[in-house]
């Protein structure tokens, strides 16, 4: 196992989002480890669709301003949990929503993903760098595997920002964008060998 370390999370949110594609999200439940390959993500910073819009802090979103690499799980529509990974640096809000996993049946979509891995709001604040039961494993994407960049979904504002990324052909993708799939390759999505420096606050 090669667990992602702090520097992998402490960068610009869109960069971290692309970096997480192809990695494995792992949750130990009892004697079993449930593992799924991350194939769809969305980036949120202080944009209008974010819980930290305009830099506003609340009890709910406080973890987004904290240590990168920490889990942020929120409850929405009175029935669904959504799992996020905090990014950026302390006091700079950012998080990547994990939307879909391969390798686990029924993990296409953030709510299904949380149900499958047994994640809920009680997991907010868990450190993916040090937690013995919840972590992300480093893994290189397959040669020739294409990253699609498109607009985020399930939101009503800031819908123009192309901050959703997914791996073409993956069964864990919740919704495909065939127009984006027919466009140019997202060359910025190539995995970096080293993590870039985080933006300053």
d(C-alpha 136, C-alpha 190), whole Å: 19
Instruction: Tell the CATH topology of 6-183.
Output: 3-methyladenine DNA Glycosylase; Chain A (3.10.300)
Is-contact 196 15, C-beta < 8 A? yes
CA atoms of 42 and 57, how far apart (whole Å): 20
Contact between residue 81 and residue 114 where contact means Cβ atoms under 8 Å apart: yes
What separation in angstroms does the CA of 80 have from each of 28, 83, 139, 164? 21, 10, 28, 20
Across 70-113, where does the E strand assignment appear?
71-76, 80-86, 95-102
Distance separating alpha carbons of residues 92 and 78, to the nearest angstrom: 28
Residue with tokens 């830099």: 55
Tell me the pLDDT tens digit for each residue of 38-83.
999 999 999 999 999 999 999 999 999 999 999 999 998 778 999 9
- Report yes or no: 156 and 149 within 8 Å, Cβ to Cβ: no
Q: What is the DSSP string of 35-57?
A: EEEEEEEEEESSSTTSTTGGG--
Average pLDDT for 87-109 = 95
How crowded is residue 117: how many other Cβ atoms within 10 Å of its Cβ?
Answer: 23
Locate the domains of the chain by residue range. Answer: 6-183
- Over 90: is that where the pLDDT of 16 sits? yes
Alpha-carbon radius of gyration of the chain: 15
pLDDT score, position 1 = 62
201 band by pLDDT with thresholds 50, 70 and 90: very low
Name beta bridge partners: 136: 25
* pLDDT per position as a tens digit, 118-173: 999 999 999 999 999 999 999 877 777 999 999 999 999 999 999 999 999 999 99
pLDDT of 148 reads 97
């Amino acid at each position: 196992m090669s667990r992602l370390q702090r520097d992998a999370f402490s960068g610009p949110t869109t960069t971290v989002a692309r970096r997480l594609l192809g990695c494995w999200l792992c949750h130990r439940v009892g004697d079993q480890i449930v593992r799924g390959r991350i194939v769809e993500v969305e980036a949120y910073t202080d944009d209008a669709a974010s819980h930290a819009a305009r830099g506003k802090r609340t009890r709910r979103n406080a973890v987004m301003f904290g240590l990168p690499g920490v889990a942020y799980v929120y409850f929405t529509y009175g029935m669904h949990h959504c799992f996020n990974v905090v990014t950026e640096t302390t006091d700079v809000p950012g998080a990547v929503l994990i939307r879909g996993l391969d390798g686990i049946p029924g993990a296409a979509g953030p709510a299904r993903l949380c149900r499958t891995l047994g994640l809920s709001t009680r997991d907010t604040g868990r450190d993916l760098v040090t937690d013995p039961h919840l972590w992300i494993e480093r893994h290189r994407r397959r040669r020739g595997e294409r990253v699609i960049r498109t607009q985020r979904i399930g939101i009503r504002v800031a819908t123009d920002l192309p901050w959703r990324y997914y791996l073409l052909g993956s069964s864990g993708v919740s919704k495909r964008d065939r127009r984006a799939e027919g466009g140019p390759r997202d060359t910025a999505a190539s995995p970096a060998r080293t993590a870039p420096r985080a933006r300053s606050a």
